[in-house]
């Protein structure tokens, strides 16, 4: 799978960090990376951050390859370009894949700190009851008044101080990297999005307007 380069200090991602700006209490005016070296952007391995991009954000646009249905065929856990149509893929026991809605960050071990990427309020905690494993979602109010949500999934554990409805601050520990839920190795699945919902993680149906609610690190905010 194509691995996209994580943008510098989330500036390209959210487009809201102003040089010299001061965030009001609870306002997300400054961002940092959630794992590893807070001021160093993760890249594909090797990464100076200490965590590398195991899988980037992507949509069907990345994998058209002439396929009339868009997207691509996943069989046996890998991309299989022999099947260019959804019906043929599914007939061969595969699934038609449209997109990965976040960024997976890994150093191949569990236990590293996961931090809040900005000031915000915890809106959702889920403790290993579904494919997300241990999950925390935080609401962030940007300086322009827009609200976005950061979501951290597959964590080993959630910090005891993190509670729904309680504010968190930039850099505060919210949990530890793990491999809970639908995960095969330790990593942090990080999303930033417009919707206050868990979301699918992967899209195996018509991406349609769904992908427009997620932020793509290299491209900046999606079209409204």
- Ordered domains of the chain (ranges, CATH): 8-57+101-213 (2.70.70.10), 60-97 (no CATH)
Distance of CA 63 to the CA centre of its chain: 19
Q: What totals of helices (H) and strands (E) does the chain contain, helices first?
A: 2, 15
Q: What is the pLDDT of residue 43?
A: 85
Task: Walk along the chain (224 residues) in steps of 10 and give the mean pLDDT of each run.
Answer: 37 38 57 90 87 80 56 82 87 86 93 96 94 96 90 97 96 97 94 92 71 65 40
In this structure, the number of other CB atoms found within 10 A of the CB of residue 109 comes to 13
Q: Tell me how far apart the alpha carbons of residues 169 and 54 are, in angstroms, rounded to a whole number.
A: 27
Q: What is the pLDDT of residue 5?
A: 37
The pTM is what? Answer: 0.79
- State the burial class of residue 138 (Cβ atoms within 10 Å of its Cβ: 0-12, 13-18, 19+): buried
Q: What is the pLDDT of residue 205?
A: 67
Q: Is 169 helix (H, G, I), strand (E, B) or coil?
A: coil
Q: What is the pLDDT of residue 207?
A: 54
| C-alpha radius of gyration, the chain, whole number | 17
- Output the six-digit token pair for 7: 């943008």
Q: What is the pLDDT of residue 70?
A: 66
Cα angle value 145/99/190 (rounded, 5°): 50
Q: What is the pLDDT of residue 180?
A: 97
Q: What is the pLDDT of residue 204?
A: 75
Q: What is the pLDDT of residue 217?
A: 55
Q: What is the pLDDT of residue 159?
A: 98
């Amino acid at each position: 799978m194509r691995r996209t380069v994580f943008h510098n200090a989330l500036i390209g991602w959210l487009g809201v960090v102003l040089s010299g700006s001061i965030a009001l209490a609870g306002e997300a005016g400054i961002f940092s990376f959630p794992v590893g070296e807070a001021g160093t952007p993760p890249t594909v391995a090797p990464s100076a951050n200490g965590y590398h991009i195991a899988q980037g954000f992507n949509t069907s646009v990345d994998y058209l390859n002439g396929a009339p249905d868009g997207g691509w065929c996943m069989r046996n856990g890998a991309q299989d370009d022999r099947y260019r149509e959804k019906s043929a893929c599914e007939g061969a026991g595969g699934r038609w894949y449209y997109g990965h809605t976040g960024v997976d960050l890994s150093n191949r071990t569990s236990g590293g700190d996961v931090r809040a990427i900005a000031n915000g309020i915890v809106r959702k905690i889920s403790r290993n009851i579904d494919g997300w494993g241990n999950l925390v979602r935080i609401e962030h109010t940007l300086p322009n008044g827009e609200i976005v949500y950061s979501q951290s999934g597959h964590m080993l554990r959630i910090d005891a101080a993190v509670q729904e409805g309680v504010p968190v601050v930039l850099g505060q520990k919210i949990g530890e990297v793990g491999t809970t839920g639908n995960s095969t190795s330790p990593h942090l699945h990080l999303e930033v999005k417009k919707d206050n919902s868990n979301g699918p993680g992967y899209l195996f149906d018509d991406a349609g307007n769904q992908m427009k609610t997620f932020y793509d690190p290299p491209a900046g905010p999606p079209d409204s």
